[in-house]
A and B are shown apart, each in its own frame.
Chain A
Amino acid sequence: AQSVSQHNHHVILSEAASLELGCNYSYGGTVNLFWYVQYPGQHLQLLLKYFSGDPLVKGIKGFEAEFIKSKFSFNLRKPSVQWSDTAEYFCAVTSLLTGANNLFFGTGTRLTVIP
């Protein structure tokens, strides 16, 4: 079945550690890829997105993600996390084959950063 997989359910890091959250998808065709973040008590918000071009995408707050088409992956990275990065992170995909308005989300990864 088509899906978006985030294998890490809960990640715990110390401040200044490097972060990589995995995201794999199984949709075919042309895809658009997104990472959303939900800070405690706040709205879900868009962190970064990939439509085309440079597969390394820079987002807000020092986050970046790399689209590797051959691996169907769009992993989120940050070189040095801060306590304020504690949040839940969701990967999402649209595929032209399933309709550009149909955004499929992963189950989310909860990140806890320890000061």
Chain B
Amino acid sequence: NAGVTQTPKFQVLKTGQSMTLQCAQDMNHNSMYWYRQDPGMGLRLIYYSASEGTTDKGEVPNGYNVSRLNKREFSLRLESAAPSQTSVYFCASSAGGGGQPQHFGDGTRLSIL
């Protein structure tokens, strides 16, 4: 099993450009999450989806949108990228709620110039 798959692994954008980070899980998990990891900050929750068709804001949602396309896929969109969004982004999933992701993807390293 692939677990949680994120694409792309690396991306460089210019300020103002838009892009979508893709995430898919093959474990039939209900809950999916998007985190960002910055040096000295730990992981911070951007958005999560407790089940197909629902999404909720996390700690740092500003500048992002998400779509829970189906049970497998949960995408993160930057409409107008800013340098402050340079980070490593992790998608995660869990079988149920309760806030504890069980499986993480490899991460997407995003740089915004």
Contact = CB atoms under 8 A, between A and B. Distances in A.
Contacts of B105: 43
Given A103-B45, A104-B59, A44 B98 contact: no
B104 A32 contact: no
Interface string B49-63: 010000010110000
B100 A105 contact: no
A11 interface: no
B90 A107 contact: no
B98 A43 contact: no
Interface stretch (A56-64, A66-74, A79-87, A94-102): A94-102
A43 B43 contact: no
Contacts of B90: 44
A80 to B, nearest CB: 27
Interface of B: 3-4, 31, 33, 35, 40-45, 48, 50, 56, 58-59, 90, 92, 97-106
